[in-house]
């Protein structure tokens, strides 16, 4: 359970919408490249309509601050089947990095716990959908206007303290200051557009889901699990 899990959801009924080309994309999509189960009609580059509009607002604020910068979308809508696939993939990767061979015991339990700090459980309970499965959450970074991503002091999906938004705050070396400034610039642009940031991930921002409601003090979330319209039409 996350601290935001008890927050009720009152879905407003907005459909998913494909991201416009004004928003850069990191392609090939990292999870599709792993053969994650999106299905033939699955498109990770879509979000709820209200979230898309706020992303465009955040990018405009960023451009007003520095015309050479853009938002670059890494991941957006994520079906629960993909969430389950990526949780398993992340556990396997971390086990391999740490030399953990058994799928039980204290070392394996630590791996599962550490992955759980960053990857939401692939819950199929309608009261606790994973944030990305609602179409409310987006993983993104800063890029130059030609699409070249900027160094942010840590890779997206890295498991560890380096991923915390304030990891480099107060550091004196020039690289750390630069990375902190970039993370803060991204957070400021997204926050001004109404988004809430995940407490453990500099790249993850959302509007309208339970995490957003928890961070903003809202009485309810406005987005439940989203269904891909291409699969229901």
- Contact (Cβ atoms closer than 8 angstroms) between residue 36 and residue 68: no
- Contact (Cβ atoms closer than 8 angstroms) between residue 77 and residue 132: yes
- Judge residue 8's burial from the number of C-beta atoms within 10 Å of its C-beta, 0-12 exposed, 13-18 middle, 19 or more buried: exposed
Q: 174-192 and 49-65 helices cross at what angle (nearest 10)?
A: 130
| Neighbouring C-alpha atoms within 13 Å toward the C-beta of 156 | 18
CA distance linking residue 24 with residue 146, whole number of Å: 9
Catalytic residue numbers, as ranges: 201
């Amino acid at each position: 359970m996350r601290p935001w899990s008890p927050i009720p959801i009152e879905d407003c009924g907005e459909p998913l919408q494909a991201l416009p080309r004004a928003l850069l994309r990191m392609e090939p999509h990292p999870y599709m490249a792993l053969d994650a189960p999106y299905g033939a009609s699955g498109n990770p580059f879509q979000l709820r309509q209200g979230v898309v509009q706020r992303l465009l607002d955040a990018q405009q604020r960023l451009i007003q601050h520095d015309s050479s910068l853009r938002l670059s979308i890494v991941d957006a809508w994520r079906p629960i089947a993909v969430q389950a696939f990526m949780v398993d993939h992340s556990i396997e990767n971390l086990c391999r990095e740490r030399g953990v061979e058994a799928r039980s015991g204290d070392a394996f339990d630590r791996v599962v716990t550490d992955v759980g700090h960053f990857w939401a459980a692939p819950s199929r309970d309608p009261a606790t959908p994973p944030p990305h499965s609602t179409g409310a959450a987006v993983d993104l970074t800063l890029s130059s206007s030609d699409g070249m991503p900027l160094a942010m002091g840590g890779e997206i999906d890295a498991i560890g303290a380096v991923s915390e938004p304030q990891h480099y705050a107060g550091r004196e070396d020039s690289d750390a200051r630069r990375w902190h400034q970039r993370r803060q610039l991204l957070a400021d642009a997204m926050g001004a557009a109404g988004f809430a940031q995940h407490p453990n991930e500099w790249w993850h921002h959302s509007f309208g889901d339970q995490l957003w409601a928890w961070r903003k003090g809202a009485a309810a979330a406005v987005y439940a699990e989203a269904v891909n319209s291409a699969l229901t039409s």
